[in-house]
C-alpha cells in the first residue's frame, strides 16, 4: 500500500522483482509531462544547490540514477491485483492521468471518491473498506 510518490517507489520495487499478491496505489503521481523529483522540488522553490546535493546523495547511496520514473512503462507487466484510489478534487496528483495507469495494469480496479483531496483520501473510510475487500475477497473498487 502506497500513497503519492510512494506509489512510484512501490511500482519500481514490483518491476524490479518484488512479489506481492495485492497492491494499493493511492493518488499515484502519473506524469503528464514527465517531471522528475528534482524538477518538482525546484518548482516548489527549493534552491538548486539543495536539490543538486540531495540528488547526488541519493545517487551515491543507492547506486541508482534519479531519473523520472514513468509508471506507465511497467504497468502492463504487473501481476499483482491492484486497487487505484483517487479523489476527484486532488490537485497535487490529478486523477485523470492515473486512469491510464489503471487501464494498463491487468486486472486492476479503481475507487474514485470526491471531496478528500490528496491527503485525506488515504485514511477515508471508503478507502479502508475497499482495501479490506481487496485483501479478504480478492476484489476491490467501487
- Which of 45, 69, 93 corresponds to the end of one domain? 69
Domain residues for 101? 2-32+70-137
Residues 85 and 22 in one domain: yes
At residue 38, the 3 state secondary structure works out as helix
Residues 75 and 54 in one domain: no
With respect to residue 95, please indicate whether it lies within any of the assigned structural domains. yes
Give the model confidence (pLDDT) of 74-110 as tens digits: 888 999 999 999 999 998 888 888 888 899 999 899 9
C-alpha cell at 17: 522483482
Give the model confidence (pLDDT) of 31-83 as tens digits: 655 557 787 788 889 999 999 999 899 889 888 777 667 788 888 899 999 99
C-alpha cell at 94: 490529478
pTM: 0.74
Number of domains in the chain: 2
Residues 110 and 81 in one domain: yes
Residue 69: count other Cβ atoms within 10 Å of its Cβ: 19
The domain that holds 104 is classified in CATH as: 3.40.50.1820
Residues 76 and 110 in one domain: yes
Give 116's contacts (C-beta < 8 A, 6+ positions apart): 87, 89, 90, 124
Question: Is the pLDDT at 22 greater than 70, yes or no?
Answer: yes
With respect to residue 142, please indicate whether it lies within any of the assigned structural domains. no
Question: Is the pLDDT at 139 greater than 70, yes or no?
Answer: no
Instruction: Please tell me the predicted confidence (pLDDT) of residue 117.
Output: 92
Instruction: Please tell me the predicted confidence (pLDDT) of residue 35.
Output: 59
Amino acid at each position: 500500500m502506497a500513497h503519492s510518490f510512494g506509489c512510484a517507489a512501490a511500482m519500481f520495487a514490483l518491476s524490479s522483482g518484488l512479489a506481492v499478491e495485492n497492491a494499493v496505489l493511492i493518488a499515484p503521481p502519473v506524469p503528464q509531462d514527465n517531471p522528475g523529483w528534482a524538477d518538482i522540488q525546484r518548482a516548489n522553490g527549493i534552491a538548486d544547490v539543495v536539490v543538486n546535493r540531495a540528488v547526488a546523495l541519493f545517487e551515491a547511496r543507492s547506486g541508482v540514477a534519479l531519473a523520472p520514473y514513468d509508471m506507465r512503462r511497467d504497468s502492463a507487466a504487473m501481476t499483482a491485483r491492484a486497487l487505484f484510489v483517487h479523489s476527484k478534487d486532488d490537485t497535487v496528483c490529478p486523477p485523470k492521468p492515473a486512469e491510464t495507469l489503471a487501464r494498463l495494469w491487468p486486472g486492476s480496479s479503481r475507487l474514485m471518491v470526491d471531496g478528500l483531496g490528496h491527503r485525506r483520501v488515504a485514511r477515508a473510510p471508503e478507502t479502508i473498506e475497499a482495501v479490506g475487500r481487496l485483501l479478504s475477497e480478492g476484489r476491490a473498487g467501487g
